[in-house]
């Protein structure tokens, strides 16, 4: 990490810091501190918040997070079944601070909605707000707030409007798959590809896309998961959506695990047999697939066969240069990329160029980062 990033992170984390303490705290030379602080001040990422009481010599500056029009930090929130994650993200995609709200209720009510608002306000005051007061600048010009995926539309709307009015900043609510797509696009360490699609396979099959460097617009929840109901087997199995032969019925997490369990029950040999059936997860299956286990390999071949028509449709409709695989697929390693790339290229008409395939980031981090990224992107106008 560069001295500039180290110092920026340190100041954001602590709230404020004496300039003279930066060198000793971070183990940096006074020359590097000077260059980095000057850069950060010029960019507006930090600001002079005050001065330390004089102890004889020159008074040391106290630095706080800058909230000038060019400073870019965004807050992201992600709602999961068991927790709400809040984090502060720099424009470089670095998570500066994060916090979790535990103890999610079975259903949302007025009380819980209020509790979430309080925690968000507290988070902001602790990590950003104090600098704002010290610097005397408004928050709304620099902080575009987060993206939300809420379990319940009614409380989602209420939380968005309450947060928006209490924080006096715009609050955006977004689909998780779009958040992750954007994070993969903005902050991936691989080459940035402005024509990309993101395909996530977990309990549902979802898709997001960036075209011409812009997140493809679709704010309706049903649209992003519609791909799961793309019929790949005419007159195939009946699906809960009312259709037949839907992709989701063949490749979803629960479906693949069911098949693995049945094969193990039928006595098929596999390293997976040592794991208790009820605690078996797709992470186990993917790990064994990468290790070359016969049963896991057979299952993944089956999954890939079903995925190819969907990938083909994505390629022919959107012509992405890159397809990023998410959900459990992101744990498939090079064997999965090879398997998909080979059948995918072979299956396309000659005039269509097959996208490069890569795996998504291996952690949940992209979801959280994506939420904040989306806020930044709204703020930076790269999302329409």
Site residues (CB under 5 A) for Zn ion? 229, 239, 241, 243, 246
C-alpha torsion sign, points 342, 343, 344, 347: positive
225 vs 288 by CB, closer to Zn ion? 225
89 vs 177 by CB, closer to Zn ion? 177
Q: Give the neighbor-by-neighbor strand order of the sheet with 356-359.
A: 214-215, 205-211, 196-201, 322-327, 356-359
Q: Give the neighbor-by-neighbor strand order of the sheet with 73-79.
A: 73-79, 83-90, 95-102
19 vs 229 by CB, closer to Zn ion? 229
Rounded to an integer, what is the distance from CA 33 to the centroid of its chain? Answer: 32
Nearest to 177 by CA among 231, 212, 142, 222: 222
Please check whether residue 370 is in contact with residue 87, taking contact to mean a CB–CB distance below 8 angstroms: no
72 vs 229 by CB, closer to Zn ion? 229
CB of 245 to Zn ion, least distance (A): 8
Residue the block writes with tokens 């032969």: 245
241 vs 380 by CB, closer to Zn ion? 241
CB of 223 to Zn ion, least distance (A): 14
8 vs 229 by CB, closer to Zn ion? 229
CB of 127 to Zn ion, least distance (A): 43
Cα(274)–Cα(288) distance, integer angstroms: 12
Cα(257)–Cα(278) distance, integer angstroms: 10
170 vs 236 by CB, closer to Zn ion? 236
CB of 361 to Zn ion, least distance (A): 28
CB of 252 to Zn ion, least distance (A): 10
CB of 219 to Zn ion, least distance (A): 21
CB of 239 to Zn ion, least distance (A): 3
């Amino acid at each position: 990490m560069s001295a500039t990033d180290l110092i920026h992170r340190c100041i954001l984390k602590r709230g404020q810091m004496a300039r003279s303490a930066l060198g000793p705290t971070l183990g940096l030379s006074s020359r590097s501190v000077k260059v980095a602080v000057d850069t950060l001040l010029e960019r507006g990422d930090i600001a002079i918040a005050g001065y330390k009481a004089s102890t004889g010599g020159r008074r040391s500056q106290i630095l706080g997070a800058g909230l000038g029009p060019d400073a870019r930090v965004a807050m992201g929130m992600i709602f999961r079944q068991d927790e709400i994650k809040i984090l502060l993200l720099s424009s470089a995609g670095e998570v500066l601070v994060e916090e979790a709200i535990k103890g999610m209720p079975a259903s949302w009510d007025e009380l819980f909605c209020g509790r979430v608002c309080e925690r968000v306000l507290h988070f902001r005051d602790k990590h950003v707000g104090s600098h704002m007061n010290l610097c005397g600048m408004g928050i709304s010009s620099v902080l575009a707030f987060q993206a939300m995926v809420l379990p319940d539309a009614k409380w989602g709307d209420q939380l968005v409007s309450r947060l928006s009015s209490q924080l006096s900043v715009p609050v955006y609510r977004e689909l998780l798959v779009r958040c992750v797509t954007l994070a993969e696009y903005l902050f991936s360490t691989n080459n940035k590809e402005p024509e990309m699609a993101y395909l996530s396979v977990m309990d549902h099959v979802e898709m997001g896309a960036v075209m011409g460097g812009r997140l493809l617009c679709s704010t309706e929840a049903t649209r992003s998961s519609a791909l799961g109901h793309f019929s790949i087997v005419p007159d195939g199995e009946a699906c809960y959506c009312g259709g037949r032969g839907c992709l989701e019925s063949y490749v979803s997490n629960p479906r693949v695990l069911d098949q693995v369990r049945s094969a193990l029950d039928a006595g098929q040999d596999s390293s997976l047999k040592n794991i208790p059936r009820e605690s078996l997860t797709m992470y186990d299956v993917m790990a064994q697939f990468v290790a070359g286990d016969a049963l896991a390999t057979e299952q993944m071949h089956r999954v890939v066969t079903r995925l190819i028509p969907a990938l083909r449709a994505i390629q022919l409709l959107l012509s992405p240069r890159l397809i990023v695989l998410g959900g459990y697929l992101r744990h498939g390693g090079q064997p999965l990329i090879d398997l998909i790339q080979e059948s995918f290229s072979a299956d396309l008409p000659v005039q269509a160029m097959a996208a490069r395939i890569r795996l998504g980031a291996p952690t949940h981090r992209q979801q959280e980062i994506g939420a904040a990224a989306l806020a930044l992107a709204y703020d930076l106008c790269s999302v329409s």
